[in-house]
Structure 1
């Protein structure tokens, strides 16, 4: 007997399941919301977090006896890339008008070489220098505040505009931009928030009470942009020359100064630079060959005197001085003394043949020297070569950093084929000269760049020795080079590739070659200076030119 199909029955959940699910969801929501009511753990007061522009920095602040100390590395990376830690244990800060030296564990600082008493010194922590926060505010455009209850040290730049918002009611400050994030604290109504960035509907902020984190933009009633409270010092303005262009000539002085009564007129010239000061053999000593009578003669003619200071082209001597803060100070003091003693108008720095590794120290020396020379009313310039792969004659110059500091950069656009060159060639062909200008303008602004031009050339001698050609040279001034051409009965014609007059003569196994410098080549160099809007020209050296060169320079200065 068949019973037939069983009637279907609909299954239903037990009545207690739905309340359980609802309870689980409520519990999960409550658990998720719990962090939003919890507060973050504060850092210890002795090791507060460093906050800069609203963000926590990976630099530890140290607090001792109520004074917060900020690591030098933070200053170097975030505030002042030119801040300098000297191997002698000195923090050095250079600005447009000040040089500040802070020795570790010393209560005496030096500002422009003048002693200043400190309340607390720079200290070493685990071998790293730390700067007292009270000093930091005087060195830089910063507002700093230490909040032990919140465990933070806040630094805000005062040379930048600030966006500030005000709350209309109590505001919860959270550690992350989320309603579920933990709380940093609660700011009462009317609190001012410094706003640093925006993410979605959240603002990254800090307050003068030490709260740092995120708030909802809906909690901020109004915002305003505040102008920077700090005004930077004005740029130094060099002494006027009576012309918009510099026309400088170097005066080579070995030990004895020239008889100025025998120097003819030099129309167009407005600056003369005698090679008077050089780094001596004794560490920190400056040799002096200056002459009061020469300065008086130059000033009577209307020339400014920018005395040249060289490193004597001595590698080790230069390294010893550059790497020692005390020796740098000693040298700078002597240069300042001589500048005042002889009533100089400027200093021309000529450091050549310098170790590549000493490039940052050369820059630091110039950064320490320049503000003090400016304070004394002097114009500062430095001589550089065109950028090349030579470690001691080119890669020793941080051209862009130097150009930030000095008033003028003199480009020594000559010695394309130098004295020891294995092949003959011009002192500075016209295309090469223009290339050096273009290359240097990548690092130095045109209004600071001065084109160096040669008043000399080289007579090359080539001698065949089997399959090899031996090359030698003798430097000639303009008059003597023209005299050689005439004496040899040869004709100088334009070398189209070099843009200069060229003469050649073969006698026996010797071939003589010379590329001439004259009024024509000098005119072309002035045209390059004009076409690139350069600050002027500087010539090496007086006494090697012919009289007509000054007419070319005068025309250049006046146009």
Structure 2
């Protein structure tokens, strides 16, 4: 009996020693490094300290979307973007107070520098050996002394006693526990005896103060106009975008096809003119210009100069067919152009395609950056199919369009998105020449499509899957198929505008349309 009691006592003493060991250990040790809203995102090698001054690893900040930046490797220069401003950091010994490079060529940015530039985006606290980055938090104060724990719901994981009236930073709340910081320690606290004094929320993407609902149409010019003939003024239309400016491949200057009579006509009728500036859809030319800092700046200067000279209220950036390797530098172009446009009070819209696996027609768009640095993002929701080898079918089926909207909203707020509408369709031909089958396709403006359907008395049915009317007819050895863009398909797309809270529509193109389509827009937007 005595042996059993002695064994029990020894076991209890041993258990007590283990508890005391971990209790003391938990008070002496706590995680150190870079924290984002209470969560460790970088170990101690993500921080270097010089003369009690902290520097954070640049790659850690960019990977966690804490810096909007571009690193020009050729010039060893960092460009930081914040609150419609651009800051330049040259990586040399003169700028040691701002940036450091270690023996492995890893770049570190001064917390003091970031605090001065990015204080409106998040708060930086350099406490002890750690750096705390805080975007979403509340400040609390405790009425009584409480404990800070390493993990919730365990009394054996105490790491510090918090005296009454301490400042506590709360990041998350889960029932009766919060994740918070006191000084340089992060842990869990019970909600008892805590009072909130201030709450801070992360800012969203940069919001523009210029966004009305845009009811827009591109006006397609294939050559420089010499005279202006007044066109119809459709109801609801409040923006026209004439395609006046493409890059001349020889001079690398923007062509200027503007007409003052055109500008005055629409301005006098309360319709804004936002001419389109394209890259001539030339990937080689675009790559050469974008990757040369002087040429890139010159292109931006040309856009601003032409816009000011001609009195444009806005501009439309229509850059397509760009190499995927130019994605980052194209994003730099968009940032810099928007900063200049904003200075001049010029509205800037940018066209993007529906997200796909095409490197040169979709993946090169940095949609998140474009969403931040623009007033409108126009989703070109058409050309689902362009050639027979893509498969015969609609050019903008309703499910495809809706998927495109949802995909873009992952990067761009709905309040900036304008839905592109096709005011054209394609007539598909399947030609059977004695068993040898070939295919052809013709793009048709809406009046031309209506004329073909009427002339051939084509039977029309509703394609539930595509969300639009469909026509088919056999004439001799040719089978004709057409998915019709009309009031039915248009109304279905306008319902998507309402469903997702988009900020308007943009028709391709103005002279492809018919009055009935504009009446539907006028009645439903």
Name the TM tier (shorter chain). 0.7 to 0.9
Structure 2, unmatched stretches of 5+, are: none
Contact 2:34 2:133 survives alignment (8 Å): no
Please report the RMSD computed on the Cα atoms of aligned residues, expressed in angstroms.
Answer: 4.8
Deviation of residue 272 (structure 1)? 0.3
* CA displacement 1:130-188 (0-9 Å, x = unmatched): 212221112323444556xx5x24334266322344776xx99999999999999x999
Contact 1:457 1:478 survives alignment (8 Å): yes
| Aligned counterpart, 1:212 | 185
Q: Return closer, same or farther for 1:340/1:101 CA change in 2, 3 Å cut-off.
A: farther
2:401 matches 1:433? no
Contact 2:353 2:379 survives alignment (8 Å): yes
| Aligned counterpart, 1:163 | 140
Q: Return closer, same or farther for 1:491/1:292 CA change in 2, 3 Å cut-off.
A: closer
TM-score w.r.t. length of structure 2? 0.75
Out of 227, 231, 235, the position equivalent to 2:198 is: 227
Distance, in Å, in 2 between the alignment partners of 1:338 and 1:29 is 79
* CA displacement 1:38-80 (0-9 Å, x = unmatched): 996999xxxx954555566314322335543221123224462
* CA displacement 1:345-399 (0-9 Å, x = unmatched): 2222222223345445544543444344344333333323333343332334455
Q: Return closer, same or farther for 1:158/1:435 CA change in 2, 3 Å cut-off.
A: closer
Contact 1:167 1:191 survives alignment (8 Å): no
* CA displacement 1:265-296 (0-9 Å, x = unmatched): 3333110011233455489x552425250333
Q: How many residues align?
A: 505
| Aligned counterpart, 1:493 | 459
Contact 1:437 1:451 survives alignment (8 Å): no
- Report 1:276-315 matches (<5 A): 276-279=244-247, 281=249, 285=252, 287-291=254-258, 293=260, 294-315=262-283
The structure whose Rg is larger is: 1
Q: Return closer, same or farther for 1:479/1:195 CA change in 2, 3 Å cut-off.
A: closer
Contact 1:173 1:187 survives alignment (8 Å): yes
- Report 1:46-445 matches (<5 A): 49-50=33-34, 53=37, 57-58=42-43, 59-64=45-50, 67-78=53-64, 80=66, 82-88=68-74, 89-95=76-82, 97-105=84-92, 120-125=97-102, 126-141=104-119, 142-144=122-124, 146=126, 150=128, 152-157=129-134, 160-165=137-142, 192-194=167-169, 205-207=181-183, 211-212=184-185, 223-228=194-199, 235-240=207-212, 245-257=213-225, 259-279=227-247, 281=249, 285=252, 287-291=254-258, 293=260, 294-321=262-289, 328-359=296-327, 361-363=329-331, 365-399=333-367, 402-403=370-371, 405-419=373-387, 421=389, 425-428=393-396, 432-444=397-409
| Aligned counterpart, 1:477 | 445
Deviation of residue 247 (structure 1)? 2.0
Deviation of residue 225 (structure 1)? 2.2
Identify the structure with the greater helix proportion.
Answer: 2
